[in-house]
Amino acid sequence: MSNTKDNIILRFATEQDVPSILEFIKGLAEYEKMADQVIATEEILQDSLFVRKAAEVIIAEYQSVPAAFALFFHNFSTFLGKPGIYLEDIYVKPEFRDKGIGSKMISYLAKLAVERNCDRLEWVCLDWNEPSIRFYKQIGAIPMDDWTIYRVQDHALIHLAYQSEND
């Protein structure tokens, strides 16, 4: 999966990459002004990614230095009856931006989706992240303005999980 002509190598993460993955996650959280929400640890990532295999990670190296990551997993469209790839996070370290790394990673994920017979590659983007929004529109991504993401977590998740037992 590597492409050395422009000093960028894409590869699937290994267990040895867990410290780098956590560093990327913290960098992304800092960029998104959400650093206080990161509770992931190397141990949690090790278990989730390499034991439970809940998601996959691609690492981009620029001149042999880890420069970016993309974390993704399969979702499923009931309407299509087929899986898709959901890109949970993509992050390029600031010093490696404007080198085409993000484009290469998204393109690789699209190719992976096609190879895996998936009909969609999807992700979300913060409304204020104009540079990313411009980039996504340039590559042909369409914002799904009619859809709103809902989330249940923390105490609400626990309450909901046991709600029927208390009725």
Domains, in order of start, for the chain? 2-166 (3.40.630.30)
Please confirm, yes or no, whether 136 is among the known catalytic residues.
Answer: yes
Average pLDDT of 22-28?
98
Q: What is the pLDDT of residues 109-137, one digit of tens each?
A: 999 999 999 999 999 999 999 999 999 99
CA distances from 108 to 2, 44, 63, 134 (A): 10, 26, 19, 19
Tell me how far apart the alpha carbons of residues 139 and 148 are, in angstroms, rounded to a whole number: 22
In percent, the amount of the chain with pLDDT more than 70 equals 96
Q: Is 53 left (phi over 0), alpha (psi -120 to 50) or beta?
A: left
* pLDDT at residue 144 in the model: 92
Q: What is the pLDDT of residues 60-87, one digit of tens each?
A: 999 999 999 999 999 999 999 999 999 9
Of these residues, 62, 86, 91, 136, which one is catalytic?
136
